[in-house]
Structure formats: structure tokens, C-alpha cells
Structure 1
Amino acid sequence: MPESSQLNLRDRASFPSKILMPDIPGFTGQFFDVKLNPHWQEVETESYAWFKTYEIRSGSRGQDLCDTGLGQMAALVYPEADLLHLRPSMDFVIWLFAFDDLFDEGELRSDISGTRAAINNALDVLRNPDTAKPNSRAATSLLDLFNRMRLTASPATIRHFVKGAEIYMNAALKQNIHRTVDNVPTVQEYIELRRDVGAVQLAFAVLEYSLGLDLPDEVHSDPVMFELELAANDIICWTNDMYSFPIEHAQGDAQSLVFICMLNEETDLQSALNRVEKLTQERTHQFVDIKKRLPSFGSELEPQVAKYVRGMELWMQGSIHWAFTSPRYFGANVEKVRNTGIVEIAAML
């Protein structure tokens, strides 16, 4: 998709030099709280040291990841984890960004066979942690993280983690295959793939872990809970597609709902961005309405379900808040973007 002729035939140099970013945190902040884990600075140094030991992204690329403040992001998306569970949760966030970058901008970006091999090995260590042999730094570090989670996580949480990893990694492979063909999906096709490649199911399994929950499968299979998780997934992914598009634009990447709307609806970049903003607002209202329809899961499970739902809300708002405080997406201009909404994109061409 990013290398597709349909996109490259559009003259990217004709894009506006500036774009107005919607006030995403302002809107979602009307519905969801933001909270920072008070323990994060106690474990951040250890998490970064752990990441550098495995050199998933070595040298300047690894340091660049740390410099974006991923430790603080973990503290924002897992703000109610206790000290014991925060450290593995933070390691997970750093690992996920590093692993995902291998497909988005690293050596596996256009290597389908390499992507398939890396994913198969990573899934093998999760399915068979006591016997599988990791053959990469990414898989070795994942196994270390997973084994530490297994010490305190419930069997249900471990199952959900493995399932989430399977969904995410298989979608990442599919996305990389799309990068090699001339194919622009419909908006709905993209949304369905984005739900999986965004790794939200995996991140929510870590949410269960971070809170020490033991949610049986029937909670997640409940139709209303499934709808609620899907809405949260969409909000996380669509907001990410809005604030990450300058990077994707600079990389010539079309893996963004903004670009997909622009191509399918044959509109300009600002109109496409506004379209995704409207979709996100509608989805946020839907989340609030779906939450009201959640059934009772019984007196024993109800407190856990309440913590999980609040955790999803904190995850959504935490990730959005972090995007507008970290240099990850807007570089040195992040404060200007946060205050004015103006994003300069010409310099990124």
C-alpha cells in the first residue's frame, strides 16, 4: 500500500505545508480520565536497561525509542498497576514499539519471508515457552518478559496474551504483504485490518495482567463486552492514525485511516483528517452508550470487570495524552502542536 502506484501518482509535494490537527485529547478527555502511575520513575531506568541489553533496536534507533518517553507512556496506559506488575508492563510497551518498528521502518519492512520467520518464532516461544528456542533478539526478550508475567498472571490472562499476540502478529504479516502490492483497501477493509495490527487485544491482555485480574473467557465473549472492546480498539487506532500521519507521510506510507479516507473519498488531506476526527467522535459516543448496556457478570466478577472497563478508558486517554507530550510523532514541535494544533509537514518530505 505505501509503495502502491495509486498513492505515489499523487504528488506529495502538493500537500499543504501545514495541517490543523484536531483537538483529540480535548474531545476524548470529556469522557475519559488521564492518570499517571506513581511508581513509574522507580522502574523506568530498569526497563530501559533491560531493553538495551537485548538490543532489539540497537544504537541510535534504540536510544531514539527511549528518548520518546515510552516509560511514561506505560505509566499512562497502565496507571493503576502496582509496583510488581508495572515493570513487566513497561517492558512490554517498550518491546512492542521496538518490535512494531521492525515492520514499519526496520529491516523487515519489505522482507516478507523474514517477517514470516520472525513472527513464527515469536509465536512459538509464547505457545511453547519451556521448549521453544528463540532465534532473534526480539523473540529472546519476549520470552524473558513472558516468563516473568507467567509468575503472577492467571492462566486466563496468559491465554488472552497469547491469543492477542497471534492476532497482532498475523495481521502484521498481512500488512507487510500489502506493502508489496498495488492495493488500496476500502475504508471498512482497512478498519478491520487495523483492529488487529494495532495490537490492542495484546495490550488489553497486559492490562488484565497489570491489574492482577482473572477474567474468564466468557467475559470477553459476551457480545456487549466484545462491542465495547472493539470500540475502544477503534478509538485507540484511529486517534493514532491521526497524530502519526506526519511520520507515515514522510516515509511514504499509506497505512493510515487518514490516507485511506483521502484515497477512497478522493478528498484533500485536511478533509480526510476531519473525516477521521468525526468517525472518532462518533465511536467515542458509541463506547459510552455500549458501556451502559453491559450485563452483570455476578457479584464475584463485577469488581474485576469494573476495573477492566476503567482500565480500557485510562488506556485510551493515556495513549492520546502521551502522543501530545512526547516527541515521538511531532518531534521538537510537540508543544506547538499541543497548543495550536498546527502541524508542519513540508519539512518532512
Structure 2
Amino acid sequence: MHALSHGTTSTPTTIAVPPALSLPAIEAAFPRRLHPYWPKLQGKTRAWLLEKRLMPADKVAEYADGLCYTDLMAGYYIGAPDEVLQAIADYSAWFFVWDDRHDRDIVHGRHAAWLRLKDRLHGALDSPIGHLDHEDPVVAGLADSVRRLYAFLPSTWNARFARHFHRVIEAYDREFHNRTEGIVPTVEEYLELRRLTFAHWIWTDLLEPSAGTELPDGVRKNPAYRRAALLSQEFAAWYNDLCSLPKELAGSEVHNLGISLIAHEKLTLEEAIVEVRRRVEECISEFLDVEKDVLRLADSLDDGTVGGKETSAAVRVCVGNMRNWFSSVYWFHHESGRYRVDSWDDRSTPPYVDNEAAGES
């Protein structure tokens, strides 16, 4: 199987997908799409990373396009207004930078620096305007991101997004503790934590500004809608675990579904890979079933009123983009330089990360 890379050139190039990671169901039933704004998106996010000092200029020039962060979002939020997609893409790029900072703080034992950053991120989320000029680029970057995201929908959506992201920050703190203490969570503990560290409900929340409306509680909490959203995110998190398992075992990581299965269910590495893959494939088949229920929900919402027709259309956009997440995540893992660990000079240090800029000073 091969991926068409749009990450660094205008002409797609072919990248092989390892047989152990290929998913024929994705390639057959989830056609890949890219938002037409993507070429501009890539350049503007690159400029934003520079402006906000989130990556050194040399790292941006050499690695930003090849990391394919904008490709991931442009393959997900199809139909979003350009300014919404730009805000989401910048926030996503910030999220990856923050994730790398968190990792470097763990690797270098910077407990005090992490606790300071955690508290500042909570503050920036609640008061973005007051943190736009913060001395720490990661704090200022989050403030700028959420300030823009908060402009698209009512305050009720903003409060929900903030509530969800506060929980993500605290989950990163739990991961910090587990990794520094060498604690491998049980399978159930890991699944609960992963839903937060992967920010399942944040990416789901962002479906709404992409569709141009805040969905009513009754729609968002509908069992079929919620199940479809969860399956799309679980697929992404577990496929990431499947792709990362050998690297994370080599790096003595403790957060990976496969590692929890090995440590607590006493599976061999080969059995753990089979089990993670089974769960990934189950997400695909279950989504295809529940997707039909969500489309029926959308039909039922179109009651002949203007509001009903608009809500019905928004639900169709949201579930369509949940579907897009499967293919976007799948190809991202085979195109992004983030996962080409075998090509790094030092397998323990990503070449696009600057340790000093990540908070050592």
C-alpha cells in the first residue's frame, strides 16, 4: 500500500505503508480529501510558528512542512470556512509543540518547569487576552489560538471547549507523573487517560465551528452521535499507538495501549500488536454501522423549519468530517516526519525539537 504525500512538494510522491500497518478498509471505504485552502494553510501556519517563536527559524524552514501538521487538519475539517480552518491548524501545530515540550520536560526531569507551565496554560485558557504577550511562547501561543477559536461560536461553546481542555492539561500532568515514576497504567486506566491526552472531545468540539454552528445538547449527547465521535477518535489514538509501539518500547515509554496489554494482560509483543490492530479495525467497522444511525438522526432533525434544516445539515457535515478523520490520521502517520524515527541521528531526540527552546533555560 502507498500514500500520496502532499507534505513538501506540489507534486505528490509515493510513500510505502508497511504491511503490518496497512488498513485495506480505510483505503477502500474512506477516500482521502483535502480542504482546498490547504496550500495557503501550510504557509500561514509556518509563518505563525515563526511569529510566535514556537519553533526556531531553522527548524521551521527544515521540518515544518514535512511534519504535515496542516495536512492532518486540512484532511479533517472539510468545508470549514478558511479562517476557522486556519485557527484550528495553528492550534493543532501549537498542540504538537506543547506535546514536545512536555516530553522534553519529562526527559530532562524539569518538574518545576512543567508545573509552572501547567498553571500558566490553565490561566491562558481562562483569560487568553491577558496572556497574548506572555514571555513563554507556549503560553502566548495557546492564548492566541484560543482567542481566535472563541470568536466563532457563542460563549456556551467557548465554556465547553475550555472545560474540556482544562481536563486535557491535567491529564498531561498525570502522564508526567506516570512517566517520571515509571508507572504503566492498566488497560482501563490507560484508555481513560488516552481519551484526554489525545483530546478526543476537543477535536470533536471543533467540528462545530467548522460546520458553522453550535449543535444543540440533544444532538451532541445523542448516543449515536456521541458514539460516532468517540470511535473516530479512538481509531486515531489506537492507530497512533500501533504505529508508535516499537519506538516507545525502545524508549522505555509507559503510555501505549500495547505496553499496558503487555504489562498487565501478560501479552507478548506479537499478541499485543494483534490486539491493538483488532481494536483499530473494530473502530472502523463499528463506525460504519453507527454512521448510518447519525445520518438517520440528521434526517429526523429536518422538520421543515429553517432551524431544523440547518441543524440537520450541520450534523451531516460533522459526521462526514468524523469519517474524514480516519483517512487523514491514517495517511498522516505514513507521511509525517514526526514518525520517521529510524531516520533520526538520535532516536531519543526528534530533530525538529530544540531542547533549549523547549524550556531548559
| 8 Å Cα contact 1:36-1:75 kept in structure 2 | yes
Instruction: Establish whether residue 48 from structure 1 lines up as the match of residue 46 from structure 2.
Output: yes
Structure 1 counterpart of 2:30, which letter?
F
Higher mean displacement: 183-192 or 203-212 = 203-212
| Separation of aligned partners in 1, 2:325 and 2:164 | 16
The Cα of 1:100 is off from its aligned counterpart by 1.1
**Alignment correspondent of 1:14:** none
Describe the shift of the 1:348–1:152 C-alpha distance in structure 2 as closer, same or farther (beyond 3 A): closer
1:328 aligns with one of 316, 338, 343:
338
Structure 2: unaligned runs, 5 residues or longer? 1-17, 303-307, 349-361
Structure 1: unaligned runs, 5 residues or longer? 1-18, 334-344
| Separation of aligned partners in 2, 1:150 and 1:242 | 34
**Alignment correspondent of 2:195:** 195
Describe the shift of the 1:66–1:95 C-alpha distance in structure 2 as closer, same or farther (beyond 3 A): farther
Describe the shift of the 1:59–1:256 C-alpha distance in structure 2 as closer, same or farther (beyond 3 A): farther
| Separation of aligned partners in 1, 2:214 and 2:118 | 27
Structure 1 counterpart of 2:74, which letter?
A
**Alignment correspondent of 1:107:** 105
Describe the shift of the 1:310–1:114 C-alpha distance in structure 2 as closer, same or farther (beyond 3 A): same
Q: Deviations over 1:200-232 (max 9, x none)?
A: 221222232233232133322233322222222
- The number of residue pairs the alignment matches comes to 317
Higher mean displacement: 193-202 or 122-131 = 122-131
CA RMSD of aligned residues (A): 2.7
Describe the shift of the 1:264–1:65 C-alpha distance in structure 2 as closer, same or farther (beyond 3 A): farther
TM-score in terms of structure 2 length? 0.78
**Alignment correspondent of 1:7:** none
Higher mean displacement: 205-214 or 300-309 = 205-214
Structure 2 counterpart of 1:269, which letter?
L
**Alignment correspondent of 1:83:** 82
Q: How does 1:254-273 map to 2 (within 5 A)?
A: 254-273=254-273
Aligned-partner SS, 2:21 = coil
| 8 Å Cα contact 2:46-2:64 kept in structure 1 | no
| Separation of aligned partners in 1, 2:111 and 2:208 | 32
The Cα of 1:243 is off from its aligned counterpart by 1.2
Structure 1 counterpart of 2:82, which letter?
L
Instruction: Establish whether residue 28 from structure 1 lines up as the match of residue 46 from structure 2.
Output: no
TM-score in terms of structure 1 length? 0.81
| Separation of aligned partners in 2, 1:33 and 1:161 | 29
The Cα of 1:35 is off from its aligned counterpart by 0.6
| 8 Å Cα contact 1:112-1:173 kept in structure 2 | no
Describe the shift of the 1:306–1:175 C-alpha distance in structure 2 as closer, same or farther (beyond 3 A): same
Q: Which has the higher contact order (CA 8 A, sep 6+)?
A: 1
The Cα of 1:132 is off from its aligned counterpart by 5.3
| 8 Å Cα contact 1:257-1:276 kept in structure 2 | yes
**Alignment correspondent of 2:73:** 74
**Alignment correspondent of 1:308:** 318
| Separation of aligned partners in 2, 1:219 and 1:203 | 17
Describe the shift of the 1:331–1:184 C-alpha distance in structure 2 as closer, same or farther (beyond 3 A): closer
| Separation of aligned partners in 1, 2:35 and 2:45 | 15
The Cα of 1:92 is off from its aligned counterpart by 1.4
**Alignment correspondent of 1:155:** 155
Aligned-partner SS, 2:206 = helix
Describe the shift of the 1:121–1:173 C-alpha distance in structure 2 as closer, same or farther (beyond 3 A): same
| 8 Å Cα contact 2:235-2:280 kept in structure 1 | yes
| 8 Å Cα contact 2:184-2:259 kept in structure 1 | no
Percent identity for Structure 1 against Structure 2: 22
Structure 2 counterpart of 1:67, which letter?
G
